[in-house]
Structure formats: C-alpha cells, structure tokens
Amino acid sequence: MKLSIAKNDLLRPLNRVIGAVERRNTLPVLGTVLFQLNQGLLELTTTDTEIELKDSVQVDADFDFEWTLPARKLFDILRSLPDDSTVNISLAETKATVQAGRAKFTLSMLSAADFPKTDSVGASTRFDIVQEDLKRLFSRVDFSMAQQDVRYYLNGLLLEIEGDVLAAVSTDGHRLSYAKHQLPAMVAEAKQVIIPNKGVRELIRLMDDPATSAQISLSDQHIQMRSGSLCFTSKLIDGKFPDYRRVMPLDNDRIGTVDRNALLAALNRVQILSNEKFNGVRLQFAGDQLSVQANNPEQEQAEDAVELNYSGEALEIGFNIRYIIDVLKVIQSETVEFKLGDSNASVLVLPPGVDDVKFVVMPIRL
C-alpha cells in the first residue's frame, strides 16, 4: 500500500496535533501519531492520555488502513524536505518507508490497536465562539495558572459560563486573573470546569485562524473544541476552584493611575537589582509620583519614578515585581489603574473604565 501527498498538505495537520506528543513517554505508543485512512480522508490523531488532538486532510487513495508512525521523527523529516516535495509513504507489516525525491527514511510502526482513544465526550453544554475571542480570553489569564502545585485544582484555568457571559479565571495563590467575554447567544445551563495547564496552552496555540468559529462542548469530565477539521479534547481537573469573587477587593478606595509603558519600563530597569529569590519591589504612591525601589543581599539598590495621578494618603506597598510586570504586559490600554487599600491589602489592577478584565496581586513584606 502506498500513499502520495504533498509535503505541506501532510505537515499542516501534523503540526496542529504534535503538541500532544511528549518527548519522553512511559508508553512507546504515546510517541506516535495514529493515521486512519477511510474513503480518501486521512485523519491524524495524537494523545498523552490527558489531551487528544485530531486533524484531517483529503488524499487521493483507494484503500482504507490504520497505522502509527513516530510523531516527532516524522515531523522533523517533513520539515527538512523542500516545500514543493511530494511525499510517498509505503506500508509493509511493521515498517513504513517515507520517500521524497532522493531522500528515503524507514520508520517503525506500532499496532494501531494499541493506540488509546478518547471515549465519547457526551457534552451537556455547548456554545460557539470565534477563535480570536477564545484565544484573547485565555491569553489574558493563562500566565497566573499554578505550575505543579499540590493544590491540583490551581494547575489550570477555571472556565465559567452563565447566560451569555463566558469567564476565565486563574490563580496560583499569590495573584488572580479574571477576564470575561459576552457570547452572541444565551447558554441554557450554567457550568464551571477546570481546564488543565497543558490543555490551555494547546488551545491558545491552536487558535491560529482568528475569524473562524469554534464549537466548545463541555461535560463533567471533558472539554472539546471543534473548528473546521481540527478537534481538541482534554480531560478536566476534578476539584473545587476557589471562589474568586471573594478574592476581589471591594473596598479599595485609593486609586492611582499611571502610564502603562512608562511603569513597565521603570520596573524592568529596577528589576536588574532586585533580590533574585523574592523579586521584591517597593511601590510608593504619593501625590503626583509613583516611586519604584528594589535592593538585593549585596546591598545594591535601584530606584526609578513615573508620573502618577493619585487620590488618597501616601502609601508604600511591596510586591513580587514579576507579578506586576506580567499584568502590565497583558493590559493593552495606555494607562493602568491601581485600586489600593492599605499596605497589607491585595491590590486590584485594571484598565481604567473597563470591567471585562481584572487582576488581583497580593502584597509581600520587604
């Protein structure tokens, strides 16, 4: 059996599904891509048993077959070939020959019967959203997801849908990010799910066609996204996400507004001499100036200042400088607003006059 296909026609779907393949696997079959050829439709599937990616392409073939090939080796082979190459794949028992021009590669195949497949999602909640909107929603909050926290429910992103409002929330226990998007239609059933870290990153990577619509399906165990020929499925984290509404400061009445780019530049300069372990920075809000200060165990110091529009008594408060920089990179407005309580209270950071994105950062002692 022999399959002929243009290099780029095969590379595009393989590139979209390669993210599920870990470089090191306990099971050899998890390092493969499953090819399923049925009536001229070639479907490629990869999985790490937590997420599954599928994409497909039409081919000129008169046979049906299932086989597996080492995913990353095949991916590297295809990328190395000239763009105008025609790839010929010949199948024989446990070996596959991949040939393009004078280049020839022999790869081992594993049994397709051993490839793990995701059961039917059985979704109870569905909605449609434009790829660009979904990517923007996730990209605003993904940076504050926890990484390998023992509180496993923090190692992901809370996706909440209620009526026509879709919200995404993440926290690592020291900061919290919230963003929302209004859907074009009401969703009958309110639902909260926690998407694992890797699933969030893959969804952001896969959203590469801004104007294309995606259908999201949610069950108690899975989230599934279908867009064109692409299908993404991920298991959900089984746990109770913290009540993010209780974390949002409501009584912070000291408000300071600064130029976002000016403050970001000042923080990047001061960070050079901050303590590498704690990344501490002092922010002093007073009158028309926000002072930024940092030091380190070598008794080196850095200080800068930016113009400030501030209402309230003078206040000095310490933060992890990395957390403030991360927030400023996500906010797109020219100015940024700090809503402060006292030196021990969390601060609310947001674009002025906007309520679809909010960030909470806890202070630290310096």
71 and 46 in contact (C-beta within 8 Å)?
yes
Read off the pLDDT of residues 277-301 as tens digits, 9 standing for 90 and up.
Answer: 888 999 999 989 999 999 998 989 9
Superfamily of domain 125-246: DNA Polymerase III, subunit A, domain 2 (3.10.150.10)
The conformation of residue 271, written as its DSSP 8-state character, comes to G
Helix spans in the chain (H) = 7-17, 71-80, 131-139, 197-206, 244-247, 260-270, 321-330
What are the tokens at 322?
A: 């990395």
- Mutual orientation of helices 71-80 and 7-17 as an angle, nearest 10°? 140
CATH architecture, range 248-361:
Roll (3.10)
pLDDT of 347 strictly over 90: yes
Judge whether 125-246 and 248-361 match in fold. yes
Which pLDDT band holds residue 33 (cuts at 50, 70, 90)?
very high
255 and 338 in contact (C-beta within 8 Å)?
yes
Q: Which residues contact 87 (CB under 8 A, 6 or more apart)?
A: 4, 5, 6, 7, 10, 78, 81, 98, 99, 100
What value does the mean pLDDT take over residues 243-267?
95
pTM summary value: 0.93
pLDDT at 120: 75
pLDDT at 141: 97
Indicate the helix (H) or strand (E) that contains 338.
strand 335-340
Does the CA dihedral 201-202-203-208 come out positive or negative? Answer: positive
pLDDT at 90: 94
Of all residues in the chain, the percent with pLDDT exceeding 90 is: 86
Of all residues in the chain, the percent with pLDDT exceeding 70 is: 100
pLDDT at 25: 81
Beta bridge partners of 357: 179
pLDDT at 62: 86
Q: Which residues contact 314 (CB under 8 A, 6 or more apart)?
A: 284, 285, 286, 287
Q: What is the CATH number of domain 2-114?
A: 3.10.150.10
Read off the pLDDT of residues 303-329 as tens digits, 9 standing for 90 and up.
Answer: 999 999 998 899 999 999 999 999 999
Every domain of the chain and the residues it spans: 2-114, 125-246, 248-361
